[in-house]
Structure 1
Amino acid sequence: MHITAQFDSGNIDVIEANSPESIRLAIRKDNESDFYQWFHFKLYGEAGVEHVMTIENAGTAAYPVGWEDYSALASYDRETWFRVPTSYDGKQLVISHIPDQESVYYAYFIPYSYERHQDLVQWAQQSMDCQHELLGQTLDGRDMNLLVIGEPDADKKAVWITARQHPGESMAEWFVEGALSRLLDDEDGAVRKLLQQHVFYIVPNMNPDGSVRGHLRTNAAGVNLNREWAEPSMEKSPEVYLVKQKMAETGVDLYLDIHGDEGLPYNFVAGCEGIPSYNDAHQALETKFKDALVAITPEFQTKYGYEQDAPGEANLSIACASVGEAHKCLAFTIEMPFKDNADLPDADYGWSVNRCRQLGADTISAIYAVAGDLRSN
């Protein structure tokens, strides 16, 4: 028996692995940070034998509530991921599984590899409607990729989508994959209409360093990028600095920042209620977007979500609030679950790759619904 995490986005420390019924593990912290919750490892063991894997430091992870009613994911081929029996006693997370094959991967959520990210970017640039722009490099020297969908023009409105500021929230890049598949379909009427008057600026992965390192929430320097939007720097947060710089060039008329939430088993959005410039027109536009998405898909709801900021009390270091205030535009954080959508549960797969992709594609329809009302800079 052997356990390893020496691969892209791998994260686990082995305390003891002498017998399948008592495997002791711990999740590593993000570099230069106390955040941890993401795990991704491979087990070599005997097929047909139950393996009991205890993550002993689960109770002190970043979001312990995330373990409640949670089931870990497993895969034999790294394509199909399914849920396996998992329990949490307030201190330890226990994964119990009888593998059908000699090796199996386990993960907190379905990984989106850096290799797949590179493939996504190269695939997208094959479209006549897509331009691929290099914004710069991360602290580890990885590329910051921007995909520009549509022909830029000063008279067109700018729609920005960023994903995976928090690298462990891999569902965000699966969402972007679905959105891109829709935007690059030249037979999609809604998209063709949108691109007549809009340009999409998409960053599929805001945090490639943290993604490869197996971090939950931070970049290579241990910085939470979604607290850097007030004063980003090339020294600590080049990812945000470069994107903000480009936003200043293009303007922003609609901004979506894609995330995952550890605790809430729902898809929801967080808006800009607390920014200084928030007004009735902004609220009406937010409502129209949410109502459209509710009408489009049962995967989205508005009953459950984060508590709204009081007027004038938004944290302007967070992307959604920062961009919404700076550009006086419609801006949302879109959150998806690590667990499942409790309104539409799937016992075998939970919230899955296909559902992430579909929500990404459906969100283009919600953008279409509000496109004519977007405030231009």
Structure 2
Amino acid sequence: MKISSSFDAGSIEIVSFEQFDDIQLKIPRDNAAEFAQWFYFRLQGAAYQHCVLKFLNAGESAYPKGWEDYQIMASYDRINWFRIPTVFDGQVMTVEHVPLANSVYYAYFEPYSWEQHLNLIGQAQGSGICQVTDLGSSVEGRDINLLTIGHEVESDLKIWVIARQHPGETMAEWFIEGFLNRLLDPQDPTSRALLDRATFYVVPNMNPDGSVRGNLRTNAAGANLNREWAEPSLERSPEVLYVRQKMMETGVDLFLDIHGDENLPYVFVAGTEGVPSYDERIAILEDEFKYHFRLASPDFQDEEGYAKDAPGEANMTLATAWVGETFRCLAYTLEMPFKDNANLPDDDFGWNGQRSLRLGEAALTPIYAVLGQLRNA
């Protein structure tokens, strides 16, 4: 029997694996921070054995409530992922599984590898209507790429979509894949209508270092990028610094920041109610966007989510708050679950990459619905 994690986004700490029915593990922290939640590893040599995997420090992780009603993900080929029954007693998370092959992978959520990321960019560029721009380099020198889709004329509305500020929230880049697939489809009438009036700026992966390292929430310097927007620095958060600089060049009429939530089993959005400039115009836009999103995808709902900020009490270090206030625009953080969508559950797969991808496709519909109301006359 062998356990390994020396691959892209791999992360696990081995305590003991002398017996198939007593495999003891720990979830590692991010490389330069205390957040511990993401894991991804390979088990070999255990075909048809009754394996019991115990995550000893689950109760000490960044989001221990995230393990309640959670089921671990597994795959034999890293393409088809499925859920396995999982038990959490408040401290230890236990998984019982009989692998049907000698090589099996386990992960917190369906990964989105750096190779997939590069392929996604290449495919987008191959569409002929997408320009790839290098904004700069991450802390460890990885490329921060911007995809620009549209005519880039001055009269165009400027729509920005970013994902994976928190690298372990891989559903965010699955969302981007679906979003791009539809936006770049010349036969899709919604996409064609959007690109007649808007230019899209998409950053598929804001945190390449954390993604490759297998971090949950931070970059290689230990920065939570979604707390760096007020004062990003070249040393600590160049990823935010470069994206913010480009936004100041282009302007922003609509902004979406794509995430995953460890605790809540729903798809929802969080807006800018607490920023100083929030007004009735933005409130109407928010309601219109959510109404059309619900029609476009039954996975989206607006009953459950984060508590709204009181007026003037927004955390201005967050991307959505900073962008919404700076550009006086509609800005949303979109959250998807690590668990399942409790309103539309799937016992075999839970929430996964394909459902995230489909949500990304659906997101074009509410954008189109509010397009004519984005500019403040």
TM-score, normalized by length of structure 2?
Answer: 0.99
Q: Which residue of 1 aligns with 2:172?
A: 172
8 Å contact from structure 1 (residues 157, 376) kept in 2: no
Q: Which residue of 2 aligns with 1:133?
A: 133
Q: Which residue of 2 aligns with 1:341?
A: 341
Cα distance in 2, alignment partners of residues 286 and 185 from structure 1: 27
Q: Cα distance, 1:353 vs. partner?
A: 1.5
Q: Cα distance, 1:376 vs. partner?
A: 5.3
Q: Deviations over 1:159-201 (max 9, x none)?
A: 0000000000000000000000001001111111111110000
Q: Which secondary structure does the structure 2 equivalent of 1:335 belong to?
A: strand
8 Å contact from structure 1 (residues 275, 321) kept in 2: yes
Q: Which secondary structure does the structure 1 equivalent of 2:363 belong to?
A: helix
Q: 2:258 is aligned with what amino acid?
A: I
Q: Which residue of 2 aligns with 1:3?
A: 3
Cα distance in 1, alignment partners of residues 303 and 73 from structure 2: 27
The correspondence of residues 92-111 of structure 1 with structure 2, limited to 5 A, is 92-111=92-111
Inter-CA distance 45–85: structure 2 relative to 1 (3 Å threshold): farther
What residue ranges of structure 1 are gaps of 5+ in the alignment? none
Q: Cα distance, 1:300 vs. partner?
A: 0.4
Cα distance in 2, alignment partners of residues 57 and 111 from structure 1: 22
Cα distance in 2, alignment partners of residues 204 and 50 from structure 1: 39
Q: Which residue of 2 aligns with 1:12?
A: 12
The correspondence of residues 1-377 of structure 1 with structure 2, limited to 5 A, is 1-375=1-375
Q: 2:88 is aligned with what amino acid?
A: Y
What residue ranges of structure 2 are gaps of 5+ in the alignment? none
Q: Deviations over 1:275-328 (max 9, x none)?
A: 000011110100000000011111000000000000000000000000000000
Q: Cα distance, 1:46 vs. partner?
A: 2.4
Q: Cα distance, 1:95 vs. partner?
A: 1.4
Q: 2:329 is aligned with what amino acid?
A: C
Q: Cα distance, 1:375 vs. partner?
A: 2.2
8 Å contact from structure 1 (residues 28, 36) kept in 2: yes
Cα distance in 1, alignment partners of residues 352 and 90 from structure 2: 26
8 Å contact from structure 1 (residues 207, 219) kept in 2: yes
Cα distance in 1, alignment partners of residues 232 and 46 from structure 2: 49
Q: Cα distance, 1:50 vs. partner?
A: 1.2
Q: 1:27 is aligned with what amino acid?
A: I
Q: Cα distance, 1:352 vs. partner?
A: 1.5
Q: Which secondary structure does the structure 2 equivalent of 1:30 belong to?
A: coil
8 Å contact from structure 1 (residues 162, 256) kept in 2: yes
Q: Deviations over 1:190-216 (max 9, x none)?
A: 111111110000000000100000000
Q: 1:302 is aligned with what amino acid?
A: D
Q: Which secondary structure does the structure 2 equivalent of 1:168 belong to?
A: coil
281-290 vs 39-48, which deviates more?
A: 39-48
Identity %: 56
TM-score, normalized by length of structure 1?
Answer: 0.99
Q: Which secondary structure does the structure 2 equivalent of 1:290 belong to?
A: helix
Q: Deviations over 1:26-81 (max 9, x none)?
A: 11111221101000000012211111111111101000010000000000000000
8 Å contact from structure 1 (residues 328, 375) kept in 2: no
8 Å contact from structure 1 (residues 253, 376) kept in 2: no
8 Å contact from structure 1 (residues 75, 81) kept in 2: yes
Cα distance in 1, alignment partners of residues 202 and 210 from structure 2: 19
Cα-Cα RMSD:
0.8
